Each structure stands twice: as structure tokens, then as C-alpha cells.
């Protein structure tokens, strides 16, 4: 354990997975490599907490827990702790829809309004949206602006109220003509499931997916999670801090509120890797997998996606998976059907680049040397600046970018938002001087970027200097006149 992050306690727990398909079967040599990599990565990234599970064939071959349930209470993490999995929830929506499709209660290419007559949008072509388009993000439905984690709704009517509330929203494009990720589409699909099944979305999932798979602690209803298993989310404000609000609101259950641990998520992995079967229970037909793991979008420049599952490839091996990210939490659930492997990880820390970590764990499991765990340089820069000042931060940056050997950070040339993103997170905590310093340095790196001027304009406007903000927005417009958002922000500031 390096002394750079003394506040991080790392625990490695290899524990039996109660209810798994076979006995847990750790692989000692692999476990050693995974432990070493995860300890170094958690230290390098300064993670609050993380849990991991990996399966091969019908066995859980690795489980690990690192850090804390809550960095203030210093309660150590275990694989049984329950996390918010965010958008991994959408794969459960897809599972439910495909169950109803198998029962001929729903047609993937039928219009949404056939099942929800009260669904409306401002644009007339909302009537053309199909179920399949909602599942593969080509519906044209926009996204959620505010999840209202600070003001959650708990009753069973919340989902329908949300769907009715979006009747005045404008669509992004005509259905099927483009692709844009939409949480709102999945909230609406959850309401479709409720109306077709005659029970709440959460009850349907409990009865038809969770209980059959022995996922008895898992729930889309956060109040059901025992206090002894809960973890706190952590945001970044120059350092990890405990989130004020847990991301729960029943309006957003279908898109976001899966609460589970990595041990029970292995049951879900086994069921899908076995093409619908867990132990002696079948939740989907074998043939269904030929459809929902087949690319369903053929739009130039767009990612491949089946029925809600994102399709990828790693070192010549096809992968199926979904990531998740909400306030204070990040997750990844990856299946590798041709190798009968699954990798799942979840952190109570919103800065983890989960795909990078999942890909590295897959490499190690397949005997391939992984890339080292790296951190976006902007966050380390911001932390140095906060403690030691901007000059020390610049010195750190100059030294780091010249180091071509260690490469412990994603350098600025790889990501124009490297310094802007920490600035926006500082603003979330009303740390405006720190945010403005980040935006200024970002502009130094990208002096011809309209977006860099826009970021700085946003920062100084939030701090109260509207006159200076106007100057920066005008420069952004000069550099990128076709960007309407700059003009809208300038207009809001008045004459």
C-alpha cells in the first residue's frame, strides 16, 4: 500500500457466493494478479470504495472489496455491500420486455402509443415511436434534466406521473433517423411493463427476474435495502466527499435504481451466459439471445447495440455489456459469451472510468498484460492546486506531461475536458474561485477552443461577474458561430 493515499484502506475478500451455480472456485495465480492490479489501481485513483466479481463457466473465480462504505465512518467494504448500479438497471428493463415479447404480450415493432395511449410529445412524430427504438436509443425521446434525487418520490404512481409530465417535451429527431441515449425512454418502458403486466415495474421485476434468480437482497426499491448493507456515494470536491443525497427516486426506477451487490449480480450473469437458465429456472428462451445480442442499429458513426445491450470487442473477443453512472456511483457489467466469462464492478465513487477497469480485468483473466490504471490528469492538477496553489499545480503538470515512462495519467492532449470537468464539479460545490482557475488553465491549453471560452464564461457568470462572462461568450461565438447554446447563454445574461 503506497503512502500517497493513507486514507484508503484496501481489503481483499474471497468469499463464498451463496446460491451460485457451483461452489466458488478461486484461481490462486489469477487471484494474485487481480489483487495486485486492483490494489495499485485503487491507490492510484484514490477510490472511496469498490467491489468486483468475476465468473468463468459456472463458477465465481474472484471477488474483491476495497476501501470504505463511507469515508467518514471508515467502515470497510465487503462484497455483500449493496450499491446503486445506475444504468445497468436498463438491462433488467430489456429482460422484462423480452419476457413479455416471448409471451406475445408486446411487439417490438409496435407503436408505443398502442400500449401507453397517454404518452405524448410536442412533435407529431411521437406517434411513430416503436418499442424497439426505445430499447436501442433511436426513438428521438430526449433525456432527463433533473433526477430530483434531493426530492424523491416513493409511491407506485410516480412512474406514470413522470410519463404524463413529459407531454410538452420536444423530441430530438424523428424516430429511427439518429441515435441519442435516453433515460426518459426507459422510464417510459417501465411504465409499459407496468401497464401490460398489471403490477408495478418493481413488483414485476421482483416476481419474474430477481426471485427466480435468487437475488433476494437486490431491489429497485432502495427503502428495502437493509441499513447494514448500504453504502454511501462519494462525489469529488478537490477530494472524495460523501454525497448529500442517495440517487433514488421512483420516477427513475427503470433507468437507474437497481440496488445490488456483486455476489447476487453473478446470478444474473450466469442466467444470461447460460442463455436464460439459472440453476433449474429459465427466465428467457434460448432463441431470444440471437435477437437481443444482435446489432439493431445501422447508422453511420453510431455504436452497435442489441436490445439495450451495448456490443463491443476486446482483443478479438466480442463483449456484451452496460455501464452505469449517477451521483456518487459508477458501475460496469460485462459478459463475454464466447469465453463464458463475466466481469462486474461497482464503485461508490463517481470518478472511476469503469470500462477501462473492466477491460483491464478481462485482459488479466484472459492472460493478457493490461494497461495500467490511469487517472485523468485534471483531477490531480485540481487537487494540487487546491492544497499548494496554481503555480505548484502547473509545475506538476509540466513534469507529468514530460514523463513518457510512467504514464499514470490521461494527459491533456487526449481529452479537452480534462481541466473543464473538475471545474464544473467544483461549481457543484459552489467553489467558484477554484473552478475559474481550472477554466483559465484549460483556456491556456486550448486558446482557440470556443468551448474553453464558454466554460470560463460559465464559471465567471456563476461567480457573479456577468460583464466578463459576456466577453467570453462573445469570443466563443466568434470562434464557433453555429453553436446556438453560446447565444442562448449570452441572451440570459441580458444587455
pLDDT band at 23 (very low <50, low <70, confident <90, very high): low
pLDDT score for 11: 38
Report the predicted TM-score, pTM, of the whole model to 2 decimal places: 0.91
pLDDT score for 494: 86
CA distance 57 to 317: 16
DSSP 8-class letter at 22? S
Asked if residue 353 belongs to a domain, the reply is no
* CATH assignment of the domain containing 283: 3.40.710.10
401 & 277 share domain: no
Q: Is the pLDDT of residue 6 over 60?
A: no
CA distance 40 to 371: 12
Asked if residue 397 belongs to a domain, the reply is yes
Asked if residue 468 belongs to a domain, the reply is yes
pLDDT score for 168: 94
Q: Is the pLDDT of residue 468 over 70?
A: yes
Asked if residue 386 belongs to a domain, the reply is yes
**Which residue is it, cell 409511491?**
155
For 102, phi then psi, to 5°, come to -60, -35
394 & 303 share domain: no
pLDDT band at 411 (very low <50, low <70, confident <90, very high): low
Q: Is the pLDDT of residue 74 over 70?
A: yes
Asked if residue 201 belongs to a domain, the reply is yes
Greater confidence (475 vs 371) lies with 475
Residue-wise pLDDT for 353-370, tens only, equals 999 999 999 999 999 999
Greater confidence (372 vs 111) lies with 111
pLDDT score for 26: 77
pLDDT band at 470 (very low <50, low <70, confident <90, very high): very high
Based on the structure, what is the number of domains in the chain? 2
Among 2-11, 59-68, 316-325, 411-420, the least confident range: 2-11
For 259, phi then psi, to 5°, come to -120, 120
Domain that holds residue 433: 375-492
296 & 434 share domain: no
Q: Is the pLDDT of residue 8 over 60?
A: no
What grid cell was written down for 490?
449570452
pLDDT band at 343 (very low <50, low <70, confident <90, very high): very high
287 & 412 share domain: no
**pLDDT, average across residues 453-460:** 97
147 & 228 share domain: yes
Residue 201 near residue 220 (C-beta atoms within 8 A): yes
CA distance 12 to 1: 13
**245 exposure class (CB count in 10 Å sphere: 0-12, 13-18, 19+):** middle
**146 exposure class (CB count in 10 Å sphere: 0-12, 13-18, 19+):** exposed
Domain end among 314, 329, 362: 314
* CATH assignment of the domain containing 432: 1.25.40.10
274 & 383 share domain: no
- Closest alpha carbon to 49 in 20, 15, 84: 84
Q: What are the DSSP calls for 422-474, one per residue?
A: HHHHHHHTT-HHHHHHHHHHHHHH-TT-HHHHHHHHHHHHHTT-HHHHHHHHH
Amino acid at each position: 500500500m503506497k503512502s500517497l493515499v493513507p486514507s484508503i484502506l484496501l481489503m481483499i475478500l474471497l468469499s463464498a457466493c451463496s446460491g451460485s451455480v457451483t461452489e466458488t472456485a478461486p484461481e490462486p495465480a489469477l487471484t494474485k494478479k487481480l489483487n495486485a492490479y486492483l490494489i495499485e489501481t485503487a491507490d492510484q485513483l484514490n477510490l472511496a470504495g469498490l467491489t468486483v466479481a468475476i465468473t468463468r463457466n459456472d463458477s465465481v473465480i474472484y471477488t474483491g472489496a476495497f476501501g470504505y462504505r463511507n469515508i467518514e465512518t471508515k467502515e470497510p467494504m465487503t462484497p455483500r455491500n449493496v450499491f446503486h448500479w445506475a444504468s445497468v438497471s436498463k438491462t433488467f428493463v430489456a429482460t422484462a420486455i423480452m419476457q413479455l415479447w416471448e409471451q406475445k404480450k408486446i411487439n417490438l415493432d409496435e407503436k408505443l402509443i398502442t400500449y401507453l395511449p397517454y404518452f405524448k410529445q410536442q412533435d407529431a412524430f411521437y406517434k411513430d415511436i416503436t418499442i424497439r427504438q426505445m430499447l436501442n436509443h433511436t426513438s428521438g425521446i430526449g433525456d432527463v434534466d433533473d433526477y430530483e434525487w434531493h426530492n424523491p418520490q416513493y409511491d407506485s404512481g410516480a412512474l406514470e406521473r413522470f410519463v404524463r409530465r413529459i407531454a410538452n417535451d420536444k423530441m430530438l429527431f424523428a424516430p429511427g433517423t439518429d441515435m441519442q441515449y435516453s433515460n426518459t425512454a426507459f422510464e417510459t418502458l417501465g411504465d409499459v411493463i407496468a401497464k401490460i403486466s398489471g403490477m408495478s415495474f418493481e413488483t414485476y421485476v421482483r416476481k419474474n427476474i430477481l426471485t427466480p434468480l435468487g437475488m433476494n437482497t437486490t431491489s429497485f426499491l432502495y427503502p428495502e435495502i437493509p441499513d447494514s448493507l448500504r453504502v454511501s456515494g462519494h462525489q469529488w470536491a478537490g477530494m472524495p466527499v460523501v454525497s448529500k443525497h442517495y440517487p433514488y427516486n421512483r420516477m427513475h426506477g427503470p433507468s437507474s435504481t437497481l440496488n445490488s451487490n456483486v455476489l447476487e449480480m453473478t446470478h444474473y450473469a450466469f442466467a444470461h451466459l447460460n442463455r436464460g437458465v439459472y440453476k433449474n429456472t429459465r427466465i428467457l428462451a434460448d432463441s431470444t439471445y440471437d435477437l437481443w445480442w444482435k446489432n439493431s442499429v445501422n447508422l453511420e458513426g453510431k455504436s452497435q447495440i442489441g436490445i439495450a445491450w451495448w456490443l463491443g470487442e476486446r482483443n478479438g473477443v466480442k463483449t456484451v455489456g452496460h455501464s452505469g453512472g449517477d451521483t456518487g456511483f459508477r458501475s460496469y457489467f460485462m459478459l463475454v459469451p464466447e469465453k463464458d466469462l463475466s466481469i462486474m464492478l461497482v464503485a461508490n465513487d463517481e470518478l472511476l472510468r469503469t470500462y477501462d477497469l473492466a477491460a483491464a480485468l478481462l485482459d488479466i483473466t484472459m492472460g493478457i498484460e493490461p494497461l495500467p490504471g490511469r487517472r485523468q490528469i485534471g483531477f490531480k492538477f485540481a487537487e494540487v492546486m487546491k492544497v499548494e496553489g496554481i503555480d505548484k499545480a502547473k509545475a506538476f503538470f509540466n513534469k507529468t506531461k514530460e514523463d513518457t515512462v510512467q504514464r499514470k495519467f490521461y494527459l491533456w492532449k487526449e481529452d479537452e475536458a480534462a481541466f473543464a470537468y473538475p471545474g464544473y464539479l467544483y461549481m457543484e460545490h459552489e467553489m467558484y474561485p477554484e473552478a475559474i482557475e481550472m477554466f483559465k488553465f484549460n483556456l491556456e491549453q486550448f486558446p482557440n477552443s470556443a468551448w474553453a471560452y464558454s466554460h470560463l464564461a460559465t464559471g465567471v457568470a456563476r461567480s457573479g461577474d456577468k460583464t466578463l462572462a459576456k466577453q467570453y461568450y462573445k469570443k466563443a461565438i466568434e470562434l464557433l458561430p453555429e453553436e446556438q447554446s453560446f447565444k442562448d447563454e449570452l441572451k440570459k445574461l441580458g444587455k
